Amino acid sequence: MSAKLIKGTEIREQILAEIAGEVSQLKEKHGVVPGLVTILVGQNPASISYVTLKIQTAERLGFKEVQDNQPDTLSEKDLLALIDKYNKDDSIHGILVQLPLPKHVDEKKVLNAIDPDKDVDGFHPVNVGRLMIGGAEVKFPPCTPAGIQELIVRSGVETNGAEVVVVGRSNIVGKPIANMMFQKGRGANSTVTVVHTATKDLAAHCKRADILIVAAGVPDLVKPEWIKPGACVIDVGVNRVGEKISKKTGKKIAILKGDVDFDAAKEIAGFITPVPGGVGPMTITMLMKNTLKSLYASQLAVTPESVSCHRTIRFFWSVGTIPSSILSGVGEVELLPRRKDSP
């Protein structure tokens, strides 16, 4: 029997519909929406394509979307000043600086200049530390790992006590998803093993995984005999292995393969993500979710003793929902029972 396909395109639409519903209520009842700015320096074609998708998604959801295009001659000093401007703008809740940057700009310095409370990519060292601590400290989980976790949870895969093997140790996927999966909480509480290029007997580690997350960047690395029957296989790899002519457009398009031998693996696994259409659609989706979380957090980031805090809690509670995922990372917040005369 073939594995159940975990379709990122379908789960993406579920999450975007949830976000759009919340944004609509916030705008209708309180006149506020999440604000997202994307800074693009230069004219890198791949960057332009990716940024365009972000813009289209944000606008579709009703966000305030600011696209700040800058020439590739922009100095590092001026870019840092631009980031500082958006750090201080209360209408902006998420700041993205599209990589790569021109060679004369220090990417690390630029990314570290973003306010951690607006770092919706989750790459600032402060947010990496928050992720390591876990629990309520987590503000913005990195988008691709967060998308992976959503795919697992929404597909009904049991994670509590599961053996999870992560193939790959990158800062963008491998390390953060490993950290997320062994934390206590929803979609986690697993026993996690990370394997990499120096791991002895890679196949043996993969074979015992209840959940196998592969992010190695090597086409067809994982063979079907490496997979435990019934396991959940999450293939993060997107490898360009050639070109073909599109039947729809007649133009050349890339042939993409994952890190898992999909055709053979789907006959053994219980759940599996396709490539494309699996993990890929989730990254921008979780970016939007993080930006909405940032809006909520910015309104709750006050002391519990202050009057404004109580007003803020009542303000958002009247929308009808404050999901636990939104409250994570904003500290201790007491939600008092709503009185009959409350707005």
What residues act catalytically?
54, 98, 121
Q: Where are the alpha helices (DSSP H) in 142-186?
A: 143-154, 174-181
Nearest to 193 by CA among 157, 159, 169: 169
Tokens 């206590």 belong to 184
Sign, CA torsion 253/258/262/263 = positive
d(CA 255, CA 113): 38
**How many other C-beta atoms lie within 10 A of the C-beta of residue 332?**
7
CB-based contacts of 129, cutoff 8 Å, min separation 6:
none
d(CA 66, CA 81): 16
d(CA 136, CA 328): 5
Q: In what order do the strands lie in the sheet with 211-214?
A: 4-5, 271-272, 232-235, 211-214, 163-167, 191-195
From start to end of the chain, where are the E strands?
A: 4-5, 35-41, 64-70, 94-97, 163-167, 191-195, 211-214, 232-235, 239-245, 252-257, 271-272
Angle at 298 between CA 67 and CA 39, to 5 degrees: 15
d(CA 70, CA 139): 29
300, two tokens: 């709750």
CB 282 within 8 A of CB 149: no
